[in-house]
C-alpha cells in the first residue's frame, strides 16, 4: 500500500478509536488539529484528509472557527426488512416526527396506476410528508394509494398517526411484503428547501411497492432521503450448487 495512503487510513482509524475509547457522545468536540497531530505524530495535511473522509462518511462535522465535532449516527435501514421508518427510529431510541406537506386526490397517471394495478384516471390519494429524526429533516415521502379502497383516509392526521397502522387497523388490510429500489439523485430547489440542504446535493432516491397478503399492491412510495442521515444495508447470501 502507498505509504501516504496508509498514513491517511491510520489517521482516520486513530480518530475513530479515540472517539470509541473515550466514549464521546454526539456533538462532543474533538481536540484541535495541532493537538491531534502532536498526539499521534501525523502531519497536518494527513490529519485534515482523514477528518474530511469522516465528514463525508457522516461521522464528523465542522463549524468554521470553532472546531470538529462528532455527528449523530446514521439510521440504517435494512432493505430486506419491511419495518416502517417510525419503528426503526424507535428501536434505535431516536425521536421521529412527521409533517404533512400535502394530502391530495389526483387522477392516476401511467406510472402510478401500473404500480398499483389500476386503470388510467382512477382516483389516487397522494400523501406527502417530511420525516424528521431528532428534529432534523431527513426524508420526503410520497405515498400513492387507491382512493376507492381507502375512502376516508384523508380524515386522519398523518403528522401523528402511522399510515400502516391505520391501513391495517381501520381498513383490515394485512401488509405482507414490499419491493424497493434505491438509486442516487440530486435535490431539486424545492426538495433542498424542505430537507434543509444545498440545491443539487446528492440524495438517495427510493421507490417501491408494498403488497398485502393477497399480493395486491397497497402503496406505491417515492422517497428523497438525505444520505448523511440514513444509510442502507442488505444481507447477501451465496446460492449453493
pTM, rounded to two decimals: 0.73
C-alpha distance from residue 33 to each of 26, 64, 68, 108, 161 (Å) = 19, 13, 9, 56, 46
Average pLDDT over residues 48-72: 88
Which residue carries 449523530 as its cell?
A: 72
Strand boundaries in the chain, DSSP class E:
60-63, 67-70, 75-78, 96-107, 123-133, 136-146, 175-186, 202-212, 217-225, 230-233
Confidence check: pLDDT of 3 > 50: no
- Tell me the pLDDT tens digit for each residue of 90-122: 777 778 899 999 999 999 999 999 999 999 999
CA distance 75 to 73: 7
Place of cell 479515540: 18
Q: Please give the pLDDT value at position 133.
A: 87
Task: Note the pLDDT tens digit of each residue in 151-180.
Answer: 999 999 999 999 999 999 999 999 999 988
As a whole number of angstroms, the distance between CA 180 and CA 11 comes to 37
How many Å apart are CA 137 and CA 154, to the nearest integer?
Answer: 23
CA-CA-CA-CA torsion sign (9, 12, 18, 23): negative
Measure the CA–CA gap between 110 and 44, rounded to whole angstroms: 56
Q: Is the pLDDT of residue 60 over 50?
A: yes
Predicted local distance difference test score (pLDDT) of residue 240? 61
Amino acid at each position: 500500500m502507498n505509504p501516504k495512503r496508509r498514513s491517511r487510513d491510520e489517521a482516520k482509524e486513530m480518530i475513530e478509536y479515540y472517539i470509541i475509547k473515550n466514549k464521546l457522545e454526539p456533538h462532543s468536540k474533538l481536540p484541535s488539529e495541532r493537538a491531534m497531530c502532536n498526539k499521534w505524530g501525523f502531519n497536518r495535511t494527513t490529519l485534515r484528509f482523514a477528518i474530511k473522509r469522516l465528514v463525508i462518511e457522516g461521522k464528523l462535522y465542522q463549524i468554521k472557527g470553532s472546531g470538529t465535532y462528532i455527528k449523530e449516527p446514521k439510521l440504517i435501514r435494512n432493505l430486506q426488512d419491511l419495518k416502517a421508518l417510525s419503528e426503526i427510529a424507535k428501536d434505535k431510541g431516536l425521536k421521529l416526527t412527521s409533517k404533512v406537506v400535502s394530502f391530495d386526490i389526483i387522477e392516476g397517471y401511467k406510472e402510478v396506476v401500473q404500480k398499483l394495478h389500476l386503470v388510467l384516471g382512477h382516483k389516487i390519494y397522494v400523501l406527502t410528508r417530511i420525516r424528521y429524526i431528532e428534529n432534523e429533516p431527513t426524508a420526503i415521502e410520497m405515498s400513492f394509494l387507491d382512493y376507492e379502497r381507502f375512502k376516508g383516509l384523508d380524515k386522519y392526521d398523518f403528522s401523528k398517526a402511522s399510515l400502516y397502522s391505520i391501513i391495517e387497523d381501520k381498513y383490515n388490510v394485512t401488509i405482507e411484503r414490499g419491493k424497493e429500489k434505491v438509486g442516487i439523485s440530486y435535490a431539486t430547489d424545492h426538495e433542498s428547501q424542505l430537507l434543509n440542504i444545498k440545491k443539487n446535493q446528492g440524495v438517495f432516491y427510493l421507490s417501491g411497492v408494498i403488497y398485502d397478503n393477497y399480493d395486491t399492491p397497497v402503496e406505491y412510495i417515492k422517497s428523497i432521503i438525505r444520505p448523511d442521515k440514513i444509510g442502507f444495508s442488505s444481507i447477501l447470501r451465496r446460492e449453493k450448487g
